[in-house]
Structure 1
Amino acid sequence: MQLSDANTKNRQGDGLTSRLAVLFAVAGGIAVGNLYWAHPLLTEIATKLRISTGTVGLIVTVTQIGYAVGVLLIVPLGDMLPRRSLIPGVMACSALALLGGALSPNFFVLAASLAAVGITTVAGQLLTPLAGDLATPEERGKIVGTIVSGLLAGILLSRTVSGFLSDAFGWRFVYGVAALCTLLMAAVLWFVIPAERPRPRVAYRKLILSVFQIVGRYLIVQVTLLVGALAFSVFTLFWTGLTFLLSAPPYSYTVSQIGIVGIVGLAGALAARRVGRFHDRGWSVAVTGLALCLATASLLIAMVGAGSIFLVLVAVLLLDVAIQAVNVLNQSRMLSVDPLSRSRLNTAFVACNFIGGALGSALSGPLWSWGGWTALMLCGVSLTLLALAIWFGGRQILEPRV
């Protein structure tokens, strides 16, 4: 196949153009944003489908479990199949699942559709190792930070856009728009992803098993996965619970007002873009510990300031900066362990993160019903302290690989 000049420049190891890096970030943001449309809609969906608050939180859980399954079963194929066709293909499947969500007649069909969305909306996790392959070693942390900033922006803006669209047209319209955007981006990526050199084929069963073998081979990977899963469980626990807090008195916010809160977290996306440079400079481990301390402080602020929207917004800002800093540094570290296995290492990283995320969202409904916002924040503080303990005990394991 004859490559264009731009594609030739983007062969593996020759560097990644800034325009393509930004496009990957936008595409990843659209893909991962599909996981979070429901967050500000939970109260409305519960009302329209006549289900309890505790039950409606399960649609977030099944979406994240589906995502972990998709990352485990689909993302490893990025080490073997041509990503120029694989990535647009999974995005097209995701668009169909989103359309199913828009047309769901009841809670069970909606939950099944969103589980399918979770399984298929893995394009961002295929694009991240692809960018790592195309980037030079000196810029890999910076490039990964750019892609992750796009993913975070997608997570946060999806909440904001979801709120406005739902207030204007209803929650079903949100999923219809998401399906259209995802399909259009699939078409764009089909044309712009550079061709790759042929890679050896591996039996699918061996490919999946090799994910677990790689995790078992490196202690640095095991410690990083534990810290990442705990951090992301705090992230989903907080954001799922935040919908309950802001929709209840004294706030009683509308869906669009809840969505606007997500804009505050965009500062986390800006920080995420720059924090990858700490990895490039060899400061990854120390900054990870500082970020976990910041996450703990933000949860305490949120707990004591539950009645003040100003303090809640400060907590949102600090928590998003902290958790995304942990994510960027962990992911940069993972992608540097074994260059030939980046898609599988990313599979392990994201699957563990979203297993932790599913745990956080599953806990949010029962904790809110049992002890309200205080119970949610105390649980989050406990999880961040556990992550800090693992980080502190594993510093010597992490440091040599930085």
Structure 2
Amino acid sequence: MTITTGLVVANIYYNQPLLTDIALNFKVSNSKAGQVSMFTQIGYAAGLLFIVPLADMLKRKRLMIIDFALIIISLLGVALSKSIHLLYFASFLVGLTSVIPQLLIPMVAHLANPHERGKKIGFVMSGLLIGILLSRTISGFVGAHFGWRSIFYAAAAVMFILWGLVYWLLPEIEPTYKGKYSHLMKSLVHLFMSEPKLRLASFRGALLFAGFSAFWSTLAFLLKLPQFNEGSDVAGAFGLVGAFGALAVGFMGRLTDKMDAFKLSTFTILLVIISFIIFYFSSHSIAGLIIGVIIMDMGVQSTHISNQAIIFSLNAEARNRINTIYMVSYFIGGSAGTFLASQIWGLYQWSGVCAIGTILSVIVLCVHLVNRKKMQQNTTASVA
């Protein structure tokens, strides 16, 4: 489950180190190329909203098998795109279909004992984070040596192999929801309105991921400037740096089971704020960018695990729908951060991107502190 999660989620992030190459290939501006990443994230949010809830009413494994076929078609569509608009559409489809990790993570929460839920989620999330970060490293290297389209052909082949492994090895889980799809979708609204802790976790996740996406979607543009003059391979190599932060995520998951989640989240949100301050003063420093990436990834992903431990303790029978609400919010935030950064880059470049990340993470910290009582009630519920 961890391996599948890491390899499938990578599909969403392959394009980020390649955006300057895509801009040159299609003879468009960096801002227009940046929208490739935005459309992928919008597609992912749409897949979370319309596909993931089906796991509460359909057999999980059967749903994944169908989805894998669609992922392969979408990746080939990206590799074969002849115009930037076709690439936008194919990238949207890649995001739409690459939702299998969000079918597996609630399964982990379902199978884990309550007192180990944070630890188990943290283990799978470590695989997911490594997949996200190493996808940039691999695609940057492949793009620099074989062209940006090559990674998508390779990804389609990997998905075909995973398709077979999931079919043969993954156990089936029977659905718990017996109603209609329309009623299932309406229940999302009810869950969102009736669970203030879910709304708070969704808000925190969305804004932090917006800043995270703003950074990663413009890093290749920064590294292309004269003070660095580096290509997609170096932009992708920063994924290796971020992978060090992933090593801490499993540890943070265990801490979520043992200590006050409010205090832990306060610390992890502060890490994100500090990282963007470091980024601001590192527009000419590779070393500063490396330090900032490690700190930012630790902060964002650890807060994400804390959020998930909270939401998965709310309603065991609706975990897929709860995860849908949280992750749709998360990736709406990510796509908004990507779009905002691509627009701000044209006006203020790196300082504007750092300002976006700092402002968003400070807002998260303020909302987090104001809602202290709700968060600590959540901690009590999770331990119980």
TM-score with structure 1 length normalisation?
Answer: 0.92
Aligned to 1:132: 109
2:61/2:172 contact within 8 Å kept: yes
Match of 1:334 in 2: 311
The corresponding residue for 1:65 is 42
Check if 1:367 corresponds to 2:344. Answer: yes
Partner Cα distance (1:242, 1:174) in 2: 19
Question: Structure 1 residue 313 and structure 2 residue 290: aligned?
Answer: yes
Whole-angstrom CA distance in 2 between matches of 1:312 and 1:231: 18
Distance (Å, rounded) in 1 between the aligned partners of 2:308 and 2:245: 16
The structure 2 residue matched to 1:56, chosen from 30, 33, 37, is 33
Aligned mate of 2:163, from 186, 189, 192: 186
| Contact 2:3/2:127 (8 A) holds in 1 | yes
1:264 counterpart = 2:254: no
- Indicate the SS of the match to 2:331: helix
* Distance in 1 of aligned mates of 2:282 and 2:22: 28
Please point out which of 284, 289, 301 is paired with 1:324. Answer: 301
The letter of the residue matching 2:69 is A
Q: Secondary structure at the match of 2:149?
A: helix
Residues 279 and 333 of structure 1 are in contact (CA less than 8 Å); yes or no, is this contact kept in structure 2?
Answer: no
Question: Per-residue CA shift, 1:90-127, capped at 9, x if unaligned?
Answer: 12211110011001111111110010011100000000
Deviations 1:179-215 (A, max 9, x none): 1111211211112221324534220011111112111
Matched residue, 1:221: 198
Q: After the TM superposition, which residues 3-402 of structure 1 pair with which residues of structure 2 at under 5 Å, given as runs?
A: 24-197=1-174, 199-402=176-379
Q: Look up the match of 2:382.
A: none
Give the total of aligned pairs.
379
Q: Which amino acid aligns with 2:282?
A: G
Q: Which amino acid aligns with 2:187?
A: S
Indicate if the aligned counterparts of 1:31 and 1:91 stay in contact, CA closer than 8 A.
no
C-alpha distance in 1 between matches for 2:275 and 2:145: 33
Percent identical among aligned pairs is 34
Q: How far, CA to CA, are the matches of 1:212 and 1:154 in structure 2?
A: 31
Looking at structure 2, the residues matched to 195 and 62 of structure 1 have their Cα atoms a distance apart, in angstroms, of 32
Q: Would the aligned equivalents of 2:115 and 2:257 in 1 still touch at CA under 8 Å? A: yes
- Partner AA of 1:216 in structure 2: M
Q: How large is the Cα RMSD of the aligned pairs?
A: 1.1
CA distance in 1, matches of 2:179, 2:244: 41
For structure 1, which runs of at least 5 residues remain unmatched after alignment? 1-23
- TM superposition shift of 1:379: 1.4
SS state at 1:100 partner: helix
- Runs of 4+ in structure 1 deviating by more than 3 angstroms, as ranges, are none
Uncovered stretches (5+) of structure 2, i.e. residues with no partner: 380-384
Q: Distance in 2 between matches of 1:190 and 1:345?
A: 26
Aligned amino acid, residue 139 of structure 2: S
Is 2:58–2:174's contact at 8 Å kept on the other side of the alignment? no
User: Cα deviation per residue 1:331-369 (whole Å; 9 max; x = unaligned)?
Assistant: 111111111110011101110000000011001111111
Q: Is the 8 A contact 2:176 2:317 kept in 1?
A: no
User: Could you tell me whether the CA contact under 8 Å between 2:49 and 2:325 is conserved in 1?
Assistant: yes
Rate the CA distance shift 1:48–1:73 in 2: closer, same or farther, 3 A. Answer: same
What CA distance in whole angstroms lies between the structure 2 residues aligned with 1:183 and 1:211?
32
